[in-house]
Structure 1
Amino acid sequence: MQFRNILEELEVTKFKKGIEREMENFFEDMGFSIIEPRVFEDYDDFIRSNSRWDSSKTVKVLGGDSRIYILRPDITTNILSQIFSKWEGEPPLKVYYNSKVYRNESRGKILQNYQMGVESLGDDISKADGEIVEMAMSVMSNLGEPYILEMGSTKYLDGFFREINLNLQDEIEIRNLISKKNSDSLKTKLKSLKLENTILDKILDMQGDMKEVLDMARAYEMNEEMKGALDSLERVKELFIHKDIIGKVKLDLSMVPDLGYYDGIIFKGYCLGVPTKILSGGRYDKWTKKYGVKVAAIGFMIDMDLVTRIRIKGEK
């Protein structure tokens, strides 16, 4: 955040710390314990594990052993190695963090972004899905502004791509076009691959009311992975109806995650008038296997710089 003078910086910092204390109390009331992420990560490990990540955005540091390290660009992957070096998967573990990530900006400056977030590990999947998504919506509702939670599932598209077995380059190109909502280029690409009469041709239309989108998706032929993705979203939908918060949720089956480790329900939170996501998260069960123990895992992160701006605006 940019400040006009030191007094404004002190005032905003004090305000942000107040919000952080509110969230910490909320997380602890929900049974989560704080964890301190490490500052450095091994560069090769991170890039190997995050193939969709733009490596030019990582802040690189040369260690005393001549190996290349990076200042953490993502907190979830950072704390998992820390957790699994001391934990064998039982009993369920719930943690939250309050820290910063570091990324290179296009102008050569290092961006420091304040984030808070939670991770639920080893708990029952349906229970944890409901708890984490409801917590995310509680955080959004406390901003005091109209908001929407966009939800999807990586398994829906993943299941389809495994079915058609495209070459990797074509699959990556299609995923990028879907992510950018580039309808014209997507149609051209699908036509060149003779895929114009598949769900990929309709995927950008599969967004909106949860019931309507689920009904639309079920009208197409599906394999077991795709059906399982819709079933998991159906269970969360039923929770929303019961809690009377369904109107705040938009289902988007074309949603592509920013990071490659998600493998199930994914979601992003937006506020009216703010073009970038304020909150994002999802399920990443398969990813935990990389650390030696596969467990159910889901969480989300909150952009505290954006939250602070929104809350300050609401106070004026």
Structure 2
Amino acid sequence: MKFKNISEEMEFSQKRYNLRKDIENLFIEKNYTNYETNIIEEVKENLPADIQFEDEQTVKIIGGNGKISVLSRDITTNLLNNILPNWERENNLKLFYYGKTFKNTNSKILENRQMGAECIGVDTIDSDKEIIQLITSIMSKYKDNYIIEIGTSEYLKGILNEFYLDNTEYKTIINLINKKNIEDLKIYMKKFENSPSKEALLSIINMRG
């Protein structure tokens, strides 16, 4: 974003900060815990380079030792990959996050800010109600008229994208998840033994919210 002068830039920066703090305080009042993910993600060593980097929008970086990493493309997927392998079913988690994601375009690298919340192990209806109430509180403070769009979460799609599945593999996994068939899913996922997202995918059957 371009500004006419430094005063305009400082005013915009302060408004953005105030909005972020207002939203964070609302989450904290509802007992959500802040969770920070890493901007830099390690690539999957078990996949060939031509498969890993087929997404032209991924921003790649090379370290001093020649090792290739990528800049975070989605915070939700990153968060769940970190949380789910160690998540215990009896633990209810209410998390909120704020961070930057990156996308490579033909002309430049785009830097976006992403903020959101995840309820893991919490009753779906209760968590959905709470999130809608929070959104309403935030939007009504800044606008008289607004639209809330309600759709399904993208975290499952994000995790599945980590495996670079063909169409048959994708449909098989989705079918097993929909049927909550954890045993057959574990057997099927043995072919992806070295993927860091495997445990996150297996844990998703036990999630509510």
TM-score by length of 1: 0.45
Aligned counterpart, 1:100 = 100
- The aligned length equals 167
Tell me, in whole angstroms, the C-alpha distance in 2 between the residues paired with 1:24 and 1:142. 14
Aligned counterpart, 2:124 = 125
Alignment CA distance shift 1:291-1:106 (3 Å): same
Alignment of 1:44-123 (within 5 A): 44=44, 55-64=55-64, 66-84=66-84, 86-107=86-107, 109-123=108-122
Question: What do you get for the CA RMSD once the two structures are aligned?
Answer: 3.5
Tell me, in whole angstroms, the C-alpha distance in 2 between the residues paired with 1:152 and 1:288. 25
Aligned counterpart, 1:3 = 3
2:207 corresponds to which of 273, 293, 296:
296
Question: Offset at 1:124?
Answer: 1.4
Tell me, in whole angstroms, the C-alpha distance in 2 between the residues paired with 1:94 and 1:60. 31
Tell me, in whole angstroms, the C-alpha distance in 2 between the residues paired with 1:292 and 1:66. 32
User: Which structure dedicates a bigger proportion of its chain to strand?
Assistant: 1
Mapped contact 2:75–2:101 kept (Cα < 8 A): yes
Question: Offset at 1:92?
Answer: 0.3
Q: Which amino acid aligns with 1:293?
A: S
Unpaired runs of 5+ residues, structure 2, are 154-165, 169-177, 179-196
Report the identity percentage: 33
Mapped contact 1:124–1:296 kept (Cα < 8 A): no
Q: Which amino acid aligns with 1:103?
A: K
Unpaired runs of 5+ residues, structure 1, are 155-166, 170-224, 226-286, 299-316
Mapped contact 1:119–1:297 kept (Cα < 8 A): no
Q: Which amino acid aligns with 1:147?
A: Y
Mapped contact 2:94–2:117 kept (Cα < 8 A): yes
Question: Offset at 1:9?
Answer: 1.8
Alignment CA distance shift 1:105-1:146 (3 Å): farther
- Aligned: 1:142 with 2:141: yes
Mapped contact 1:125–1:296 kept (Cα < 8 A): no
TM-score by length of 2: 0.65
Mapped contact 1:101–1:114 kept (Cα < 8 A): yes
Tell me, in whole angstroms, the C-alpha distance in 1 between the residues paired with 2:130 and 2:199. 23
Tell me, in whole angstroms, the C-alpha distance in 2 between the residues paired with 1:133 and 1:297. 17
**Residues 156-194 of structure 1: per-residue CA shift (max 9 Å, x gap):** xxxxxxxxxxx949xxxxxxxxxxxxxxxxxxxxxxxxx
Q: Which amino acid aligns with 2:9?
A: E
Tell me, in whole angstroms, the C-alpha distance in 2 between the residues paired with 1:89 and 1:62. 38
Alignment CA distance shift 1:89-1:8 (3 Å): farther
Question: Offset at 1:292?
Answer: 5.0
The residue matched to 1:56 in structure 2 has which SS? coil
